[in-house]
Amino acid sequence: MSGRRNTAANLLLRQYRELTDPKKAIPSFHIELEDDSNIFVWNIGVMVLNEDSIYHGGFFKAQMRFPEDFPFSPPQFRFTPAIYHPNVYRDGRLCISILHQSGDPMTDEPDAETWSPVQTVESVLISIVSLLEDPNISSPANVDAAVDYRKNPDQYKQRVKSEVDRSKQDLPPGFVMPTSESAYISNTSKKEDTEESKDIADNFWYDSDLDDDENAEGLQDDSFDYDDEDVYNYQGTYGNDDEDNIEFEDDDESMDNDSVMDRKQPHKAEEESEDLEEVEKIGKK
């Protein structure tokens, strides 16, 4: 496997894992690999959770193919089978700006709307669902669908409804269709997260008060007892104990303020985007 293909495969594998992680996945999509040994071909079930949409309740099968120089070139997206939509060709190919290579002189699409290496599979999929609900009839791929959408809305809705009903036959065995209420983080989950954060803060101040009392009684134990839940996912670094014991002499007017600041500089988080690192590696090759 070439270096560029290998880098693209690693990037796709990372995004695939995120999009299929139950805690991070977008509920509007059911994603599987066409072949477990080929990360460049994804089978995707597209669902519209908006109950007011005429596409609501459908499970539209599609396939996404990625080039070996991804993310420098956009993937291809095709509905299988094709759906009746102004921006879907009769062979199922989707016409959407975000999947068009930027800088194409044959189109008048602004570069801000076309493909760029900073785009991700997630951003593409979200754009596709948005296009399903809000077609671009000014540049249709299926003229008949665009005409029906504009001039014969009832006929268009009836055609889409029949395709929604047919698509339900493609639901994977045992798959439960998500709803707008159950798909995303519920208010209960948010409340639990808020209460957990509050508990961590309360524990911090409670422990601090205990330390003050212990110091007042001449105790030397400076340790903190944390529960696993209190430090879950904590990736920072604790400061050195030596820094906490630094003594400053009030009468020493020769003390250099800059040197004090240097000694008390906080650690900076060294978080960089892994995706950008992968893109830079490809660019250097």
Q: Which residues are catalytic?
A: 95
- Comparing CA positions, the residue from 4, 15, 23 lying closest to residue 44 is 15
CA separation for the pair 100, 13 (Å, rounded):
23
Is the distance from CB of 177 to CB of 48 less than 8 angstroms?
Answer: no
